[in-house]
Amino acid sequence: MEKRVRVLVAKPGLDGHDRGAKVVARGLRDAGFEVIYTGLRQTPEQIVGAAVDEDVNVVALSLLSGAHNHLFPRIVELLKEKGLSEALVIGGGVIPDSDIPSLKAAGVSEVFTPGTPISSIVEFINANVK
Amino acid sequence: MNIAEELLGGSRLALSRAITAIENEYDNAVEIMQKIYAHTGKAYVIGITGPPGAGKSTLTDKIAKAYRAMGKTIGIIAIDPTSPFSGGAILGDRIRMSELTLDEGIFIRSMGTRGSLGGLSRKTADAIKLMDAAGKDIILVETVGVGQSEVDIVKTADTTIVVMVPGLGDDIQAIKAGILEIGDVFAINKADREGVDKVCREIEMMLDLNQEQVLWRPPVRKVIASQNEGVNELLAAIDQHKNWLSESGELSVRRNERIKTELLAILNEQIGRYILTKVTDSGKFNELLHNVEARRVDPYSAVENILKDILR
């Protein structure tokens, strides 16, 4: 039995910068995870559809546009609806500290803001993945 | 939940979980395969292979859309390489297929090679069976970007499409052994680029030199996948090959050959495991190993010695 952690790295919403998401994807690859990257400008429905088909353990959302308060909770909700409630949802990008408590209350497990070393993300996933 | 029954009942999540189970060799994996096997053998399997960057994912996306327009349901297995160092992988084929994600009739699964070297992952064949049992009409298998000798797809697919692009090498490349030998249909992608006629000519020449394939001469089709050009012509060529396979009886010959290979592989694996546990449990193994390490015994005699005990 060789369980391998599968992570969906997704960019919801309309911003067009995915350098950060790619750096994180590469870092997670080097940590031994299987990283599925779906590209830019994905709707919550597309992200959750991919998460279902790929049976991922982690959904990592990168967002720079400011729409996180709307999109992150919507994705958590859809994941539950589709039967993936045990998937760990984490977020990153330009997210004000003051928004983090409400995102966590909505079911986002952790939010990593700019400057976070990849190793912290890897540690968090390893400690919390189901 | 009973994964096999839910999968047969059409549950998307059950299909997804079943693939995870076989990929990770969970305890229930064999049981799932046992339950679904009777429901397999209906889907048509198309392999899409070619060098990295040839446009396999983009072409897969367009082929899926074209079949979907005909009302077929589709399963896609997209394979990318696993790092031999970290065991991790970036599975990025979905980027070219994001429009397909919302279609209920299309199921896409990305797989890492996880150590397999033939261009597929070790569990690709089982994943195909699961999609087949879940009722997908057509299963598209996109291999990793291949070099010259990753040809496992031909043992797995009914029709293999080799995707080539202009500018990769001269005509000596076209007569070498390897992936160019396995194409049932050739798709020359990026056909708006310079050198496309040259690459077509070279492949046609290579195919004409091939004495053995007189029964099926693979057609060569130009496509521009990113602009959806030539895709219908490519589908027609796939269809011709499919018809030829069934009319000539070659389809059942190939499928039966595949079943035999698979049966032997499972048998081999189980016998291997059985012998391995027997050998390592015996204690004699370490003794022999030390003797071989010290060059008192050669490995061939050591193996003969071990087998004598087991196969008594």
Residues A28-40: tens digit of each pLDDT: 999 999 999 998 8
- Which of B16, B90, B112 faces A52 most closely, judged by CB atoms? B16
- Which of A2, A26, A46 faces B102 most closely, judged by CB atoms? A46
Q: Which residues of B touch A54 (CB under 8 A)?
A: 16, 91, 108-110
Residues B243-256: tens digit of each pLDDT: 999 999 999 999 99
Tell if the CB–CB gap between A37 and B19 is shorter than 8 Å.
no
User: Domain locations in chain A?
Assistant: 6-128
Least Cα separation, residue A8 to chain B (angstroms): 9
What is the predicted ipTM? 0.92
Tell if the CB–CB gap between A37 and B86 is shorter than 8 Å.
no
Tell if the CB–CB gap between A29 and B20 is shorter than 8 Å.
no
Mean pLDDT, all residues of chain B: 90
- Average pLDDT of B176-199? 87
- Average pLDDT of B105-109? 97
User: Domain locations in chain B?
Assistant: 1-38, 40-248, 260-310
A 13-72 → B contacts, CB under 8 A: 25-26, 28-39, 42, 45-46, 49-50, 52-55
Least Cα separation, residue B128 to chain A (angstroms): 14
Least Cα separation, residue B88 to chain A (angstroms): 4
The superfamily CATH assigns to domain A6-128 is: Cobalamin-binding domain (3.40.50.280)
**Confidence (pLDDT) at A70:** 92
Residues B117-139: tens digit of each pLDDT: 788 888 999 999 999 999 999 99
pLDDT for residue B174 is more than 70: no
CB contacts < 8 A (A, B) = 88
**Confidence (pLDDT) at A20:** 87
- Which of A2, A28, A38 faces B25 most closely, judged by CB atoms? A2
pLDDT for residue B202 is more than 90: no
- Average pLDDT of A67-91? 95
pLDDT for residue B178 is more than 80: no
Name the band, by pLDDT with cuts 50, 70 and 90, for residue B297.
Answer: very high
Tell if the CB–CB gap between B107 and A33 is shorter than 8 Å.
no
Tell if the CB–CB gap between A34 and B109 is shorter than 8 Å.
no
Lowest-confidence pick of B41-45, B152-156, B189-193, B230-234? B152-156
Q: Which percentage of chain B shows pLDDT scores above 70? A: 94
**Confidence (pLDDT) at B172:** 61
CATH 3.30.70.141 matches B40-248: no
Tell me the DSSP string of chain B.
Answer: --HHHHHHTT-HHHHHHHHHHHHTT-TTHHHHHHHHGGG-S-SEEEEEE-STTSSHHHHHHHHHHHHHHTT--EEEEEEEPBPTTTS-EEE-GGGGGGGGTT-TTEEEEEEE-TT--SSS-TTHHHHHHHHHHTT-SEEEEEPPP--SS--GGGGT-SEEEEEE-TTS--HHHHHSSSGGGS-SEEEE--TTSTTHHHHHHHHHHHHHH-SGGGS----EEE-BGGGTBSHHHHHHHHHHHHHHHHHHTHHHHHHHHHHHHHHHHHHHHHHHHHHHHHHHHHSHHHHHHHHHHTTSS-HHHHHHHHHHHHT-
Q: Which residues of B touch A34 (CB under 8 A)?
A: 82, 88-89, 91, 110, 112
**Confidence (pLDDT) at A1:** 46
pLDDT for residue B287 is more than 80: yes
pLDDT for residue B171 is more than 70: no
- Average pLDDT of B47-52? 92
Residues A52-78: tens digit of each pLDDT: 999 999 999 998 888 899 999 999 999
- Average pLDDT of B153-161? 91
**Confidence (pLDDT) at B68:** 97
Q: Which residues of A touch B114 (CB under 8 A)?
A: 4
B 13-42 → A contacts, CB under 8 A: 13, 16-17, 19-20, 23-27
**Confidence (pLDDT) at A99:** 94
Q: Which percentage of chain B shows pLDDT scores above 90? A: 61
Name the band, by pLDDT with cuts 50, 70 and 90, for residue B155.
Answer: confident
Mean pLDDT, all residues of chain A: 93
By C-alpha distance, the chain B residue nearest A10 is B95
Residues B62-104: tens digit of each pLDDT: 999 999 999 999 999 999 999 888 889 999 889 999 889 889 9
